[in-house]
Chain A
Amino acid sequence: MNVGFIGLGLMGRPMALHLEKAGHALHLWARRPESLAPFMDKAAAINARTHATPAEVAANADVVIVMVADAPDVEKVCLGVDGLASGAMPGLIVVDMSTINPNAARTIGLRLAEKGIAFVDAPVSGGETGAINAALTIMVGGAPEAFEKVKPLLEKMGKSVTLIGDSGAGQVAKACNQILTGVGVLAVAEAFNFAAKSGVDPAKVREALLGGFAYSKILENHGQRMLDRNFKPGFKAWMHQKDLRIVMEEAHRMGLMLPSAAATAQVFNAIVGSGMGENDSISALMLLEKMSNPSG
């Protein structure tokens, strides 16, 4: 299949390579040409062609995958000047794997539908490691027919691929994922800081708690990285801040009360504001340590 891929960052690059390895021809465009260089390496002999615009990518592809930062970027790639919509062949399916506002996804989907282009939102969880190991969790929203057509591609990048519902439903699931992970990481950081300030070894606390009702993957994995004081990303704090912003925007739009997510979002504001945005989101622990009595 001819597969377009736009957004060749930390996540996008390994994801695109999995598709190529599975026998698909890649059609690439990048805002920064240097992102294309690894695909053009003669020695690697990657089946990929580069294009001057997203429109050209669309003209050569059956499916285009988009993996960029935020809703305005997705909108520009899809509907902007020389965007996918202006070059698409009939029946093109655009799969947006970025994390954006569910309502923005629905709007972009409707505008592409007017031009006969199917749009599927398919945000992922699992981070760079998940992308490299083709072990992502992929949450999909869109028409079942379009989903069936792109499912084999998604299965090359992810371990778990689930159609959640209509357009936007994948982004809603991702937002739920970010509520749970955001609040969860902060809860573990608070518990560890509480233990340490009480003169108790957080490592022992973690070990004991793993066997009980407070067990979670976050306590296990993120907790261990906190104990190792390994703050390298993983998942960058500023991205978690962005995702919680999306959650809170939607809560505002719908008149929903999300007290824990709201409080957590403020902690992420403080993490980013104190210059730790490029660190992993477990830097919540460092922030709590900094804001608590350091000698206490």
Chain B
Amino acid sequence: MNIGFIGFGTMGLPMAGHLIKAGHVLHVWSRRAASVDSLVERGAQCCASPEAVAAACDIVCTNVTASADVEALAAAMAPGFAPGAIHLDFSTIAPSAARRIAAMHASVGVEFVDAPVSGGGLGARNATLAIMWGGKAVLAPRLDAVFAVLGKTVVHVGETGAGQVAKACNQMIMVAAIEACAEAARLAAGAGVDFAKVRTAMLGGSAGSRVLDVFGGRMAARDFAAGVEARLHHKDYALLMDEATRLGAALPVSTAVWQQLNALMGQGMGCADTSSLLRVLESGATQAAR
């Protein structure tokens, strides 16, 4: 199948690679041409514009940072799409933005699917992503050509925007758990107990979790290199807290976590791993208590 791909960050690049490996003809475009060199070497077609990508493909995947980026790409691709083509967006953006883009595409017969992913760079490289998608259920067989190659868990959550709602829920649970790990690590250290031991003990019990394993492990090793850059989680919190305000839903724990992320950003740790939430807690403690 002719598949387009735009957005080659930590996630996008390995995802695009898997699609080539699976035998698809990949059409790519990037503002910085150098970022697609490795894909072109492996047979990807380099296009001159997003519009050209759209014109050549049945499905175009995008994987960029913000709502505005996806909206700009959608507008740029619009003149190129053939009716019935699918714009498949893997980015994490506001549910309302996803619905806006879908409406724009629908007016010219183009399908839009929001399919944010969870699993990080590791999940992208190992093709073990959790994919949560929103859009018309009838598109499932066509989308499967892409999803089957990239993810381990693929769930159709509901209509357009539902994928983004699921992703917001995912981020709330995950980052709150990272903060809980950081607080446990802080408490253990303050009491003079080795958090690495505490973590090992807990992994076998009721508090065991992926987050305790992965992020707790980074905290124990004091390895704060990303992983997932904290600034991306911070960005996601703006989206989900905005949605909470719009809906009139109280999220008391999430908002507290959000403030810790704000402090993390303010301390200049946005490009480090989100396990740096531990360092935010330490920044409020005396040297002796660390």
Contacts and interface: CB of A to CB of B under 8 A. Distances in A.
Q: Do A and B come from one complex?
A: yes
Interface of A: 241, 245, 248-249, 251-252, 254-259, 262-263, 265-267, 269-274, 277
Contacts of A273: 247-250
B1 interface: no
Interface stretch (B91-99, B142-150, B263-271): B263-271
10 pairs of A and B residues whose beta carbons are closest in the complex: A273-B248, A255-B266, A255-B265, A270-B250, A272-B248, A257-B263, A262-B255, A266-B250, A257-B259, A269-B250
Contacts of A256: 262-263, 266
Contacts, number: 70
Interface of A is mostly: helix
Interface string B248-289: 111110011011101111110010000000000000000000
Nearest to A287: B250
Interface residues of B, number: 25
Contacts of B264: 255
Interface of B is mostly: helix
Interface string B18-38: 000000000000000000000
A263 B252 CA distance: 6
B8 interface: no
29 contacts: A241-B245, A241-B248, A245-B245, A248-B255, A249-B238, A252-B238, A252-B241, A252-B262, A254-B262, A254-B266, A255-B262, A255-B263, A255-B265, A255-B267, A256-B262, A257-B259, A257-B260, A259-B256, A259-B259, A263-B252, A263-B255, A265-B245, A265-B255, A266-B250, A266-B255, A269-B245, A273-B248, A273-B250, A277-B248
Nearest to B241: A248
A262 B259 contact: yes
Contact of A269 (B249, B260, B266): B249
B251 A269 contact: yes
A252 B258 contact: yes
A262 B250 contact: no
Interface of B: 234, 237-238, 241-242, 244-245, 247-252, 255-256, 258-260, 262-267, 270
Among B237, B255, B258, max chain A CB count under 10 A is at B255
Contacts of B247: 269, 273
A252 B234 contact: yes
A249 B252 CA distance: 16
Nearest to B237: A252
Contacts of A274: 248
Contacts of A257: 259-260, 262-263, 266
Contacts of A252: 234, 237-238, 241, 258, 262
Contacts of A263: 252, 255-256
